[in-house]
Amino acid sequence: MSRTWAKLHRYAGLATAAFLTLAGLTGACIAWNDELDVALNRNVLEVAAAPYSEASIASWVAAVENRHPDAQVTYVVMPVSATDVARLYVTGRRDAAALGVDEVFVEPHTARIMAERKRGVVPRRWLELMPFVYALHHSLHLGRFGVRAMGIVAIVWMFDTLVGLRLALPRLNRESLRRALTIKSSAHRARLTYDVHRASGIWIWPILFVIALTGAAMNLEDEVFEPILDAVGNLTPNAIDRLPRRDDHDAGDVTSAIAAARVALDDTSAATQVGASPRLGGIRIAPDRHAYAFGFHLPTDFMREHPGTFVTVVDGVVTDVRFAGGTSGADVLHDLQFPLHSGKACGILGRIAITIVGVGVALLSLTGVLIWLRKTRQRWARRGGVLAAQAVVLMCGIAAHAQTDAQSPPTVLVAAEPEYTEEARANGIEGTVPPETSEPPATTDASDPSSTSIVVTVKGSRPQAQRLRESAEAVTVVELRRARRETADLGEVVARTPGVTLQRAGGLGSATRFSLNGLYDDQIRFFLDGVPLELAGFPFGFANVPVNLVQRLEIYRGVVPIRFGADALGGAVNLVTERSDHNRLGVSYQVGSFGTHRVSVDGGYLHQSSGLVVDGAAYFDTADNDYRIDVEVADARGRLTKARVRRFHDRYHAYGAAFTVGVIDRTWARRLTLRAFASTYDKELQHNIVMTVPYGEVRYGETSYGVTTTYEQPLTAKVDLSVIANYARRSIDLVDRSQWVYDWFGERVRERRIAGEIDGDPTDQTTWQDSGWSRVNLAWKPHPAHVVRLVVSPAYTTRRGDERLQADPQARDPLSARRELLTVVSGIEHEWNARPVEGASAIAVHGERGTNYAIQNSLFAKHYVYRASTEETLPGGSFRPLTSNMQAFGVGDSIRLRLTASMYAKASYEFTRRLPRPEEVFGNGALVEANIALEPEVSHNVNLGPHVDLASGLGTFTVDVNGFWRDSDRLIVLLGNDRFFTYQNVFRARALGVENAFVWTSRARLLSADGSLTFQDVRNASSDGTFGDFEGDRIPNRPWLFASWGTRLRTTGWPSSDDALEPFYVGRYVHQFYRGWESQGRREFNQVVDAQLTHNLGLSWTLARDVARVTTTLEAQNVTNAAVFDFFGVQRPGRAFYLKVTG
């Protein structure tokens, strides 16, 4: 019988664990709902103390209903103290859902509306946080369905607490109770987990049972609780609900009704006995029934915070007076549910108890799951017979699979491409699996061939990329070892990653739009080794960075770790270069169609005895971009006809270099380096944004130089320090002063009356931007399973410029105004690891800690400080200073659960913000004006998905699936008229999607295939303003369904055994999407970017010798010569051929 009870307890607990964890933690918060709400929103929920009278209530109601003519005030919560606001709850007279607000805060003595909110919505500001927490607690934010679901969970939980008590106390005697209540802190981890689960459950069991019972009663009030009370007792119905509805909605004068209610209370003996004047706490207003219900506080009430005595007034006449507890036992039970469930029946001590028990509920659920996982693992380990491809988690995290039975020796298959050697043993059978093969190891006779136990040890360290990939962070790691040997640039490589789109306005060097899970451009932050990319010597954009200077990409999806000190809204991309800790030299040269030449050199030197490191990198890129495009040109009669022409004004030149010197592995510095860099690029502009007007002389470019200093050192055995400081100077040029009109053949057609091709005004301007940026990281490791991190990252930017072609040379140049921007992003994070995997090292290695554990969780908070100042141009040419200050918070959490040796799952969430960039705040001094009042963008980002690694005789198979959700508000958009533009906060969007990727590699790595598919539904959620008319439309000019795939054959022996020949193929598909809003006009006439399918074919030949490893790649891109458009009307290159040599 005990086993039956144990199974019932186990599976009931597992079924409700996630719900109870959420309910427990949110319940601990809402026990202090009012206090937390005021603390987070003190600026609107606290007012200056001033007297008011109950006669002011009518003015509160009038103020709200005047602002919202479709609203009806239904309840008023009276201020408790002199500094409190009045809370008025409203509903729509016709459609409550369409109102957009249901709670209004009013200053009592002036009737001024302080703030409004819609309870239960996903929070975009602190004012909406606590109602959202309550909605999660009460209904999982799923409406009425969620209310019933949580009620059922509460019933299951209530019975499960009884079963748990029965199992914890099988015998009711003193010794049994003593053992059950004891927690042995010195016990091993499994025993300690069990003791905590059992003892804490007994200690708080009475409160647990009451919370479960009252929770079920309140969530299933109409369906279960009230019918039961009415059946066994005499439940008094609500006085107002019994009244008939009227056609005319008029409850009468509220002040007179309050006076009548007080007279009625004074006339009752129950009210007279308390000896105190009742305080009005709340008013229910029912104009359709001509009624008010006034809630008064009496000392005899169950809760002093909530009224317990109610007086109903209909048409100015008191019709009912109901004291706390009602008139029957059923009324008492009914009124006790919320006071008991919230702890408010016992005042402050009751709420403290609820807070402790709420955390205890989460602890019970967690320890229960851990106990089940441990016992499940033990049951698997005890199973006999055949072990068919049982996964073994190695110390380094490589999934190896053993296939054995009583008749055959074990075979170990490595399901990865490690860069080190694994050593496997199975009962005396041992061998080595080299990194270049997956053939079985050599074996010897086993002493016990019938045994099935397998022991695996590893020599070496897990690669950093794999440790990061298997951490709790929402990150995709893209290794570039193979891409560095091929001709695709960095933009093409990253575009093959799930969830990523890269839209280009032409060939090499052209403007790009990078999008990650529906968010794009500045909403994604880019870094080079943790330093903002534009401050690290690559100002021309992510896609044009030479791929041979980058080792790997780290793509963080929506949830960005605090170690970057960044304010990214939709994620971040970190370009990781090779560290200067070994000798190396790499050279690459690429030549191809459209006048393309790309050269890069990268090398490093380490002096072992002194620790001196020297590192250098340089590149040179040039392209004519003179590919053919389809345009419309005028014939002799002026009629437009189609023509295919070559682009004639689209050249791109870029070059740069970086030099690093420093020391590593010294007693006083683990790493101390100084990096100096300089780069420049120049780009011609061929046409306008839709490729309808050709330009012949417009060009732009930028020069950047600066230094970066890095210092890393452990301060103690448990504290690590990392400091980065950077200074960068950027000089940005735009020249548009042509006197001529050009046609698509590059010929001058006629002279312009006013110079300038872009907008009819000439410009020759330079903008100088000076930036100082730094970041301090502290990591404290108090325990092998815990890390606490603290990050502070200030940035200071100044900008000024010079317009050389002013209309009035005597006037002050608007670009000369000094503009300053100060931001500080700081954060704190706690990383928690649990359940070490078998074979995990007992040494607390900081970099490998998370992946040595089955569970890793990172909880973090961020703080943002923002200060902008500029000079506004006034009529007459004068200037006045403007400043803007703000600060805000963000929170997030990431968790990774290793479910089996070959499967783990990740979930992550962040409430994040993006601070406006200098160009958005300051404008460009010409067409784009400054907007000092810009607010940060905000977003709720969620990721959830599994990762699976499988191995069999057919090879290894890896699958990644990720579902994502984004709810972004206050998005910054460039708006204006034909003359001037400003960036404004006017846009809201929601994104829901799923992405997956797979990789298959055959045994011996002869053949491999990979693919990815992304669906993202990004919709406009703006209900008013500029984009309100298009609410519910897909965001235009964004791909929403796209896929990529590829295959590769690797053969060796060309001519020696170490040489390889690798033919490969890559394909990509993008489904058609609208250029504009899909609901604007008739869909069949709306402009669309057509579906596109492209194919690339290539062949790589690698010669491996002692002195060097040289790879030559010949590749044909877009072999079908398909017309490709990323932006409407802007044609990308057609068929192209490239040759690349890498050594």
Question: Mind listing the pLDDT tens digit for each residue in 60-73?
Answer: 999 999 888 888 99
Backbone φ and ψ of 858, nearest 5°: -125, 115
Q: How does DSSP assign 213-245, residue by residue? A: HHHHHHHTIIIIIHHHHHHHS-PPPPTTTTSPP
Q: Given this model, what pLDDT does residue 416 score?
A: 36
- In this predicted structure, which of 321-325, 552-556, 994-998 has the lowest mean pLDDT? 321-325
Is residue 541 over pLDDT 50?
yes
Q: Given this model, what pLDDT does residue 421 score?
A: 35
- In this predicted structure, which of 553-557, 746-750, 827-831 has the lowest mean pLDDT? 746-750
pLDDT digits (tens, 9 = 90+) for 769-781: 999 999 999 999 9
**Given pLDDT bands bounded at 50, 70 and 90, which one contains residue 90?**
very high
Q: CB-side exposure of 511: number of CA atoms within 13 Å?
A: 14
SS (H, E, C) 358-371: HHHHHHHHHHHHHH
- The pair of structure tokens assigned to 45 is 């929920």
Is residue 806 over pLDDT 80?
no
Is residue 1096 over pLDDT 90?
yes
Mean pLDDT of 598-605: 94
| Most trustworthy range by pLDDT among 272-276, 797-801, 956-960 | 956-960
Token pair 């309808």 in the structure block, residue: 692
Residue 1068's DSSP bridge partners are: 1044, 1094
Q: Contact 735/716 with Cβ under 8 angstroms?
A: no
**End-to-end CA gap in the chain:** 72
Mean pLDDT of 864-886: 78
Question: Is omega for the bond preceding 1055 within 30 degrees of 0, making it cis?
Answer: yes
Q: Given this model, what pLDDT does residue 393 score?
A: 33
Grouping H, G, I as helix, E, B as strand and the rest as coil, residue 190 is helix
What pTM, to 2 d.p., does this model score? 0.63
Is residue 1099 over pLDDT 90?
yes
Is residue 648 over pLDDT 90?
yes
**Given pLDDT bands bounded at 50, 70 and 90, which one contains residue 430?**
very low
Q: Given this model, what pLDDT does residue 394 score?
A: 32
Which residue, 95, 105, 107, 138, is CA-closest to 120?
Answer: 138
How many other CB atoms sit within 10 Å of the CB of residue 277? 12
Tell me the C-alpha distance between 37 and 128, whole Å: 9
**Given pLDDT bands bounded at 50, 70 and 90, which one contains residue 663?**
very high
- The pair of structure tokens assigned to 759 is 């907008």
Q: Given this model, what pLDDT does residue 511 score?
A: 86
State percent of the chain over pLDDT 90. Answer: 40
Tell me the C-alpha distance between 620 and 135, whole Å: 57
> When comparing pLDDT for 872 and 42, which is higher?
42
Which residue, 834, 723, 706, is CA-closest to 779?
Answer: 723
3-state helix vs strand vs coil in the chain, percent to 5: 25, 45, 35
Mean pLDDT of 668-682: 94
Tell me the C-alpha distance between 151 and 1001, whole Å: 49
Q: Given this model, what pLDDT does residue 926 score?
A: 52
**Given pLDDT bands bounded at 50, 70 and 90, which one contains residue 167?**
confident
- In this predicted structure, which of 83-97, 447-461, 528-542, 1110-1124 has the lowest mean pLDDT? 447-461
pLDDT digits (tens, 9 = 90+) for 120-144: 877 777 888 899 899 889 888 777 8
Is residue 800 over pLDDT 90?
no
Helices 143-168, 129-139: inter-axial angle, 10-degree rounding: 60
Q: Given this model, what pLDDT does residue 325 score?
A: 60
Tell me the C-alpha distance between 924 and 605, whole Å: 43
For Cα atoms 1082, 1087, 1088, give the angle at the middle one, nearest 5 degrees. 115
> When comparing pLDDT for 400 and 1063, which is higher?
1063
Is residue 417 over pLDDT 80?
no
Q: How does DSSP assign 1003-1022, residue by residue? A: GGG-EEEEEEEEEEEEEE--
| Most trustworthy range by pLDDT among 65-69, 217-221, 951-955, 1066-1070 | 1066-1070
Q: How does DSSP assign 749-788, residue by residue? A: EEE-SS--SSSSS-EEEEEEEEEEEEEEEEEEEEETTEEE
- Computed over every residue of the chain, the mean pLDDT equals 83
How many whole angstroms from its chain centre is CA 177?
47
**Given pLDDT bands bounded at 50, 70 and 90, which one contains residue 536?**
very high
How would you classify the pairing of strands 819-836 and 786-803? Answer: antiparallel
Tell me the C-alpha distance between 291 and 249, whole Å: 10
State percent of the chain over pLDDT 70. Answer: 86
What is the side-by-side strand order in the sheet with 531-532?
Answer: 475-479, 552-557, 571-576, 524-528, 531-532
Is residue 1062 over pLDDT 90?
yes
CATH hierarchy code of domain 467-1142 = 2.40.170.20
Which value, in Å, is the radius of gyration of the alpha carbons in the chain?
A: 34
As a dihedral over the C-alpha atoms of residue 688, residue 690, residue 693, residue 694, rounded to 10 degrees, the angle is 60
Q: Which amino acid is at 894?
A: S
Mean pLDDT of 281-303: 84
Grouping H, G, I as helix, E, B as strand and the rest as coil, residue 79 is coil
Is residue 338 over pLDDT 90?
no
Q: Contact 118/91 with Cβ under 8 angstroms?
A: no
CA dihedral (196, 199, 205, 207) positive or negative = negative
How would you classify the pairing of strands 571-576 and 1007-1020? Answer: unpaired
pLDDT digits (tens, 9 = 90+) for 969-990: 998 887 765 556 788 888 899 9
- In this predicted structure, which of 440-449, 841-850, 998-1007, 1063-1072 has the lowest mean pLDDT? 440-449
As a dihedral over the C-alpha atoms of residue 398, residue 777, residue 490, residue 772, rounded to 10 degrees, the angle is -170
Task: Name every residue whose Cβ is closer than 8 Å to that of residue 333 and which is 6 or more positions away in sequence.
Answer: 229, 233
Is residue 447 over pLDDT 50?
no
Q: Given this model, what pLDDT does residue 395 score?
A: 31
- The pair of structure tokens assigned to 160 is 């499960």
Is residue 995 over pLDDT 70?
yes
Is residue 628 over pLDDT 50?
yes
pLDDT digits (tens, 9 = 90+) for 305-322: 677 788 999 988 998 888
**Given pLDDT bands bounded at 50, 70 and 90, which one contains residue 276?**
low
Grouping H, G, I as helix, E, B as strand and the rest as coil, residue 323 is coil
Is residue 294 over pLDDT 90?
yes
Q: Given this model, what pLDDT does residue 665 score?
A: 92
Tell me the C-alpha distance between 528 and 513, whole Å: 18
Tell me the C-alpha distance between 766 and 591, whole Å: 33
Grouping H, G, I as helix, E, B as strand and the rest as coil, residue 44 is helix
**Given pLDDT bands bounded at 50, 70 and 90, which one contains residue 815?**
confident
- Annotated domain spans of the chain: 1-50+125-235+345-383, 385-460, 467-1142
pLDDT digits (tens, 9 = 90+) for 1014-1037: 999 999 998 887 788 888 899 888
- What DSSP designation does 31 have? T
Is residue 391 over pLDDT 70?
no
Tell me the C-alpha distance between 521 and 968, whole Å: 14
Q: Given this model, what pLDDT does residue 1008 score?
A: 94
Q: Given this model, what pLDDT does residue 420 score?
A: 35
Mean pLDDT of 899-906: 90
